[in-house]
Amino acid sequence: MSSRNAVLAEALQLPPEERADVAKRLIASLDGPADEDVEAAWLAEVERRLQDVDRGTGNVEPWDVVRERLATRLRTTRQ
């Protein structure tokens, strides 16, 4: 058995929460080191958007409307 398969087999024996933590760390390792300026900018943008929603000035749409628009876009790009 390859070391990759051995690691996978062992990881699959972990409880779900621990498997999720391992998966999160593995995915994060593919992204490389975090750029603190970028992380701070994203956090500020999320906060700004949440404030807009709280004030009633945010651009929000029901999920079913967004889902249908995305489905339509996917259908047209696959043709």
Based on the domain organization, do 26 and 49 belong to the same domain? no
Buried b (16+ CB within 10 A) or exposed e, 19-53: eeeeeeeeeeeeeeeeeeeeeeeeeeeeeeeeeee
Q: How many domains are there within the chain?
A: 2
pLDDT at 1: 73
Residues sharing a CB contact under 8 Å with residue 11, sequence separation 6 or more, in sequence order: 19, 22
DSSP H helices, the chain, are: 3-11, 16-31, 36-55, 63-77
pTM of this structure: 0.46
- Eight-class DSSP state of 12: T
Low-confidence ranges of the chain (pLDDT < 50): none
Based on the domain organization, do 26 and 38 belong to the same domain? no
Based on the domain organization, do 9 and 40 belong to the same domain? no
Based on the domain organization, do 39 and 77 belong to the same domain? yes
Based on the domain organization, do 19 and 57 belong to the same domain? no
Based on the domain organization, do 27 and 5 belong to the same domain? yes
Based on the domain organization, do 74 and 43 belong to the same domain? yes
Name the residue range of residue 39's domain. 34-79
